[in-house]
């Protein structure tokens, strides 16, 4: 059966030959594109299509028997599903009329581009979440460091201010002490001079008393 015969076989079920041709083309296009991009297309009960890489190797030319080096290449591979194998081997009977009884594919069994894209999207989301957590942690650490630096700077400034105030107080106290000492020095000579004048007054008083006594005796 070729493609045209396949279209004719399903034309009645799809409402016409054009609809059948479009359906076959769409299915084949989706399978080819997925396999070429490296995805695996699996249909439960029918089989799977996948891309297989073959390493470089040596082979023989069947016509000449000459040894030839074959380059590394990739080839498509189809693996029949168990239901398909059972029908071909005869362990299961093919129904006479109607569609072939193939197990319905459960959700997630069609592992074409859609499933892989979803998995890639989940991984990308997980990476973004991890990146956000790392960035948040870095920002938090930076904030803590900045806060610690500011607190240290404030403490240092407070200590400097306190030291300046203490130095100013000491300077003021020293000035006051010096002023008191200077005042004491000035006051001491004045007291001594006053003390010297006091005996002179006493001598004058004595002389006055002696004169009065002399006058009386006369």
Does some domain include residue 165? no
d(CA 197, CA 190): 11
Does some domain include residue 66? no
| Predicted local confidence at residue 105, as pLDDT | 47
| Predicted local confidence at residue 169, as pLDDT | 80
| Predicted local confidence at residue 113, as pLDDT | 45
Range of the domain at 85: 3-52+73-119
- Contact in structure between 51 and 74 (CB atoms under 8 Å): yes
| Predicted local confidence at residue 200, as pLDDT | 55
**CATH at 108:** 4.10.520.10
Does some domain include residue 205? no
Residue among 116, 114, 28, 117 at smallest CA distance from 76: 28
Does some domain include residue 17? yes
Does some domain include residue 163? no
| Predicted local confidence at residue 116, as pLDDT | 46
Per-residue model confidence as pLDDT tens for the chain (218 residues): 999 999 999 999 899 999 999 999 999 999 999 999 999 999 998 999 999 999 999 999 999 999 999 999 999 999 999 989 998 998 888 877 666 655 554 454 444 444 445 555 666 666 677 777 766 777 777 777 777 777 777 777 777 777 777 777 877 777 777 777 766 666 656 555 555 555 555 666 676 776 676 666 65
Does some domain include residue 204? no
Which H or E element spans position 76?
strand 73-80
Does some domain include residue 178? no
Domain count, the chain: 1
| Predicted local confidence at residue 112, as pLDDT | 43
Convert 13-48 to b/e letters by CB count within 10 Å (16 or more is b): eeeeeeebbebbeeeeeebeebbeeebbbbbbbbbb
Which H or E element spans position 208?
helix 113-217
Long-range Cβ pairs for the range 81-87 (8 Å, 24+): 81/43, 81/44, 81/45, 81/46, 81/47, 81/48, 82/45, 83/44, 83/45, 83/46, 84/45, 84/46, 84/47
Strands 41-43 and 73-80 turn out to be unpaired
- Contact in structure between 54 and 74 (CB atoms under 8 Å): yes
Does some domain include residue 14? yes
């Amino acid at each position: 059966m070729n493609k045209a015969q396949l279209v004719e076989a399903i034309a009645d079920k799809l409402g016409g030959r054009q609809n059948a041709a479009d359906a076959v083309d769409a299915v084949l296009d989706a399978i080819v594109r997925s396999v070429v991009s490296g995805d695996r297309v699996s249909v439960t009960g029918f089989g799977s299509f996948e891309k297989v890489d073959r390493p470089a190797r040596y082979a023989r030319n069947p016509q000449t028997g000459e040894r030839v080096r074959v380059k590394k290449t990739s080839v498509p591979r189809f693996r029949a599903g168990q239901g398909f194998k059972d029908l071909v081997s005869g362990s299961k009977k093919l129904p006479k009329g109607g569609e072939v009884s193939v197990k319905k594919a459960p959700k997630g069994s069609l592992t074409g581009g859609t499933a892989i894209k979803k998995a890639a999207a989940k991984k990308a989301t997980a990476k973004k979440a991890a990146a956000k957590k790392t960035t948040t942690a870095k920002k938090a650490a930076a904030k803590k460091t900045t806060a610690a630096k500011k607190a240290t700077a404030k403490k240092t400034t407070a200590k400097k201010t306190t030291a300046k105030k203490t130095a100013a107080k000491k300077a003021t106290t020293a000035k006051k002490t010096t002023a008191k000492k200077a005042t004491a020095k000035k006051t001491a000579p004045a007291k001594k001079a006053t003390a010297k004048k006091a005996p002179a007054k006493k001598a004058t008083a004595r002389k006055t008393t002696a004169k009065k006594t002399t006058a009386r005796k006369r």
